[in-house]
Amino acid sequence: MAGVCSQKTPVCRLYFFIFLSYIKFADMKIPGKTTTVTGIFLLAFSIVVQSQKLKPDPDAILVGQRQQPSVLLVGSFHFEYYNLDAHKTAKDKQVDILSVQKQKEMEELVKYINKFKPTKIAIEADKNTGYFMKRYRAYKSGKKPLGRDEIEQIGFRLMEKFNLDTMYGVDARSLEHDLYNGKDSTAFRFTLDSIFADYDFKNGDIISQCYDQYCNVDEQLALTLSLLEYFKYVNSDKILNREFGFYLNGDFTLGDTRGADALAIGWYSRNLRIYRHIQQITTAPSDRILVIFGRGHMEILKHLFECSPQYKLIKFNELK
């Protein structure tokens, strides 16, 4: 019994207390009250037992014995430094991914990701990945070296290692983009312009200033840590959580809910659509889908995959 239920566990301590209390009160020999006392303690014991039975793991129902497609999220900085995000990295602070040292570190990073054994690679590109496949064939034939982009540096190496024949572009435009550029855009533009007025990530509140300092520290870490160390750090839960927090301050506070609405139909909408595109390329329970994206996307995607019983999320730092 000790192997199953120790007095050290809260529930078993409660059982033990009820049992001792029953013995104590039962020994009081209250005339005509023994049956009542016994009934009270049996009822209390039954309630405790039933309360434990009514707390099942939801996955016992939602997943059961069903095999789930596995997903590994790899959040990366953009090795090409396109500088399209709110924070721009100065030239002298950029990692030279093609240097001899970083190429050695890249081999170590890819060897680590190899543990996932992907069957599909999803990338930050639209559905037409012909350009990347042309580049991949040139790389495979020895006609061109790998470019700087993380899709080539990480994705091409993994395609070659696991003999994969395609890359899946799963990026998406946001609802904001569609409404601005759709055939009925004139009907929406006034409202959209009102929502997105001053939504430019240039809010000077104290938390936004702290994020500016954080970005400077992050740039230094990218230069000093090995690629594997850096990727383990930036793909940890705490870092992903806090980096998403950037979107919940500053311009998020515009108006009453105007900043929240802008985030919903802009950035959040885009990531929901990315998740949907990953669903669309999922074709078998045995799929092992590697997702290579800018790490700003990772916290929303991580939350979606953690919540969905459709997938088994493998976290970057849990690879074995």
Please indicate, yes or no, whether residues 30 and 158 belong to a single structural domain of this protein. Answer: no
Please indicate, yes or no, whether residues 156 and 283 belong to a single structural domain of this protein. Answer: yes
Please indicate, yes or no, whether residues 27 and 155 belong to a single structural domain of this protein. Answer: no
Chain centroid offset of residue 138 CA = 33
Please indicate, yes or no, whether residues 155 and 43 belong to a single structural domain of this protein. Answer: no
Chain centroid offset of residue 210 CA = 23
Range of the domain at 43: 10-55
Please indicate, yes or no, whether residues 32 and 93 belong to a single structural domain of this protein. Answer: no
Let me know: does 285 contact 66? Beta carbons within 8 Å.
yes
Q: Distance (Å, rounded) from C-alpha 100 to C-alpha 93?
A: 17
User: Per the domain annotation, does 62 fall within a domain?
Assistant: no
Specify the pLDDT at position 7: 45
Phi–psi pair at 35, nearest 5 degrees = -60, -40
Specify the pLDDT at position 88: 83
pTM: 0.83
Please indicate, yes or no, whether residues 156 and 185 belong to a single structural domain of this protein. Answer: yes
Identify which of 74, 176, 187, 56 has the alpha carbon closest to the alpha carbon of residue 121: 74
Please indicate, yes or no, whether residues 159 and 49 belong to a single structural domain of this protein. Answer: no
Neighbours of 69 (CB within 10 A): 20
What residue type is assigned to position 216 of the chain? N
User: Per the domain annotation, does 14 fall within a domain?
Assistant: yes
User: Per the domain annotation, does 279 fall within a domain?
Assistant: yes
Please indicate, yes or no, whether residues 49 and 159 belong to a single structural domain of this protein. Answer: no
Let me know: does 312 contact 72? Beta carbons within 8 Å.
no
Q: Distance (Å, rounded) from C-alpha 66 to C-alpha 240?
A: 29
Please indicate, yes or no, whether residues 179 and 295 belong to a single structural domain of this protein. Answer: yes
Neighbours of 191 (CB within 10 A): 11
User: Per the domain annotation, does 65 fall within a domain?
Assistant: no
Low-confidence ranges of the chain (pLDDT < 50): 1-9, 11-12, 15, 23, 29-30
User: Per the domain annotation, does 64 fall within a domain?
Assistant: no
Please indicate, yes or no, whether residues 41 and 187 belong to a single structural domain of this protein. Answer: no
Phi–psi pair at 7, nearest 5 degrees = -65, -10
Specify the pLDDT at position 6: 45
Please indicate, yes or no, whether residues 35 and 77 belong to a single structural domain of this protein. Answer: no
User: Per the domain annotation, does 133 fall within a domain?
Assistant: no
Specify the pLDDT at position 43: 65
Query: Strand 70-76 vs strand 288-294: parallel, antiparallel, or unpaired?
Result: parallel
What total number of domains does the chain contain?
Answer: 2
User: Per the domain annotation, does 211 fall within a domain?
Assistant: yes
Please indicate, yes or no, whether residues 85 and 46 belong to a single structural domain of this protein. Answer: no
Looking at the chain, how many residues does it have? 320
Q: In the chain, count H helices and then E strands.
A: 15, 5
Tokens of 286: 């045995």
User: Per the domain annotation, does 294 fall within a domain?
Assistant: yes
Specify the pLDDT at position 158: 98
Q: What is the pLDDT of residues 107-129, one digit of tens each?
A: 999 999 999 999 999 999 999 99
Neighbours of 68 (CB within 10 A): 16
